[in-house]
Amino acid sequence: MLALLGATTLMLVAGRWVLPAASGEANLKPENVEIHIIDDNFFLKWNSSSESVRNVTFSADYQILGTDNWKKLPGCQNTASTKCNFSSVELKNVFEKIELRIRAEEGNNTSIWYEVEPFVPFLEAQIGPPDVHLEAEDKAIILSISPPGTEDSIMWATDRLNFRYSVVIWKNSSSLEERTETVYPEDKIYKLSPEITYCLKVKAELPLQSRVGYYSPVYCINTTERRNVPSPENIQINADNQVCVLKWDYPYENTTFRAQWLRAFFKKIPGKHSDKWKQILNCENVTTTRCVFPRDAFPNGIYYVRVQASNGNGTSFWSEEKKFYIEMKTVIFPPVISLKSITDDSLHVSVGASEESENMSVNQLYPLIYEVIFWENTSNAERKVLEKRTEFTFLDLKPLTVYCVKARALIENDRRNKSSSFSDTVCEKTKPGDTSKTWLKAGICTALFSLPVVIYVVRLFLRGVNYVFFPSSKPPSSVDEYFSDQPLKNLLLSTSEEQTERCFIIENASIITEIEETNEIDEVHKKYNSQTSQDSGNYSNEDENSGSKISEEFLQQDSV
């Protein structure tokens, strides 16, 4: 390219080569080149150094940083204006650094290239305004928000579910009384008045990346006239042993109610989910202002419930939605241990399930491993054993010495590493010295290993089996197989202090990251990630100062 110009015609002005004027006019070059990226729209803007009326155009090239393979930037060739739209550029991914250069052209003459500071498109991208659809009820507005960018957006492919939306709403008649709410893509704004014009605007944010988007245009809608069948109010849900009790307030008699539930993660997925609401059994056509359903009607997770009233005058709008959390905790009880002195130099430890845990109902069994800590009473030196068995023999001990032991149970292969608390400490003195100990050791150890009954008891949540005996210290392989099918990693385990299963309420339904929705969100991410390319994996940003690491961390953080 340089060759085209001929060395003698080049001038260096302010560190940049410029096109010399044909007839002594001002130098011609693009200046102040800026890149603007909004969602998947890419724009280049610059100023021309010359106000000249000459037939000057501009053209730009791009390449992946360091590839030395310049390509013409589509939409930015022979442009007469001082901006161009290069949204049609095909980037394999938006996390790679791009180099871009632009020059002025006049006939066959061209300026030197003006090189733009290399940039990572994802980091330059701004969040555009979301698309909003509104529907009115008498005291609420239903919002359906489409995430910024198109459905097949490359820019936000891994972020579509992470957007948080904030709504500013006001009565058109008094824009001073603004209210700001954080909402899901599919959500409702409550506590409005009938027959009022409300206006609102919405912006999207990516909180983990500290990015705030542009506000949508202002949308206005009138609420409807008051329905003559009011909605149930003050929805409450409480746990009572094995059941959840759903209650609400209603002022009139002779009304029937029905209640529905929705898994909370649907709210994070853009789109209409009205068909995902499910009837709660036992809460259909009830004439009381409460209904009761078994806690095990729901798998572990976060839900919404809503209630509707019907009477001779018609049907109400749905009540406000109440968020609640059904949690089934796996409680691991501390084991019970016994310590027997066998010989002068060994002690035998048996670890078993506690009596209280044997009474618990169990629906799933998990393979436990035991951590046994053994020490001489007068010393701090501990021996620690972590194994999947219940019988342990500690050898090479001193005669007539007090040794102590405590143990706790852990679930094997559990990534959360949850465990029971430690058992009580049990101490025992070794026997006095004995010369015939050799045969004893061999004989007794063998005998003991086959004797005890191993009890695996994990309190989970429901379904039949109380406890299971395994007549050897290791479960048979068929049992192992059964165990390995269990979704261990999704357990919510607790320590023994929290031995209740609860269905409790999340009072403040303020949003998204506050609670674990482990498998739900995993599912959602799986679904959405599968839509994105292979490239959605581990990008890390070379620009260490820009603060955000672009990787699936963003997804993971939301789910934890």
Ligand X SMILES: *[C@@H]1O[C@H](CO)[C@@H](O)[C@H](O)[C@H]1NC(C)=O
Applying CB under 6 A, which of residues 174, 285, 508, 530 lies at the interface with ligand X?
A: 285
Part of the chain binding ligand X (CB under 6 A), chosen from 107-115, 133-141, 332-340, 456-464: 107-115
**Does 117 help bind ligand X (rule: CB under 6 A)?**
no
Applying CB under 6 A, which of residues 66, 81, 107, 471 lies at the interface with ligand X?
A: 107
Q: Which of 36/549 has CB closer to ligand X?
A: 36
Q: Residue 279 CB: number of other CB atoms within 10 A? A: 11
Applying CB under 6 A, which of residues 22, 395, 451, 453 lies at the interface with ligand X?
A: 22
Applying CB under 6 A, which of residues 222, 421, 450, 510 lies at the interface with ligand X?
A: 222
Q: Are 455 and 467 spatial neighbours (Cβ–Cβ below 8 Å)?
A: yes
Least distance to ligand X, CB of residue 205, Å: 23
Q: Outline where 392-496 has alpha helix (H).
A: 437-450, 477-484
Sequence length of the chain is 560
Q: Write the binding mask 142 to 181 for ligand X: x where contact by CB under 6 A, - elsewhere.
A: ------------------------------x---------
- Nearest of 176, 179, 157, 154 to residue 168 by alpha carbon: 179
**Does 34 help bind ligand X (rule: CB under 6 A)?**
yes
Applying CB under 6 A, which of residues 54, 92, 340, 398 lies at the interface with ligand X?
A: 54
Determine whether 549 is exposed, middle or buried from the number of CB atoms within 10 Å of its CB (0-12, 13-18, 19+): middle
Q: Which of 81/538 has CB closer to ligand X?
A: 81
- Nearest of 33, 27, 59, 28 to residue 46 by alpha carbon: 33
Tokens linked to 156: 């936000």
Q: Are 29 and 114 spatial neighbours (Cβ–Cβ below 8 Å)?
A: yes
**Does 41 help bind ligand X (rule: CB under 6 A)?**
yes
Least distance to ligand X, CB of residue 196, Å: 7
Q: Are 135 and 141 spatial neighbours (Cβ–Cβ below 8 Å)?
A: yes
Residues 352-411 that bind ligand X (CB under 6 A): 355-356, 359, 377-378, 402
- Residue 110 has phi, psi (to 5 degrees) of -135, 155
CB-nearest residue to ligand X? 107
Least distance to ligand X, CB of residue 474, Å: 27
Part of the chain binding ligand X (CB under 6 A), chosen from 155-163, 249-257, 325-333, 503-511: 249-257
Least distance to ligand X, CB of residue 198, Å: 9
**Does 254 help bind ligand X (rule: CB under 6 A)?**
yes
- Nearest of 220, 217, 222 to residue 140 by alpha carbon: 222
Q: In sequence order, what are the beta bridge partners of 245?
A: 238, 292
Give the Cα separation of 559 and 525 in Å (integer): 9
| Terminal-residue alpha carbon distance, the chain | 53
- CA 157 vs. chain centroid, Å, equals 15
User: Measured at the alpha carbon of residue 214, what is the angle toward residues 211 and 216, in degrees to the nearest 5?
Assistant: 140
Least distance to ligand X, CB of residue 130, Å: 17
- Contact residues: ligand X, CB under 6 A: 9, 20, 22, 32, 34, 41, 45-47, 53-55, 85, 87-88, 106-109, 172, 197, 220, 222, 228, 252-254, 284-285, 311-313, 355-356, 359, 377-378, 402, 427
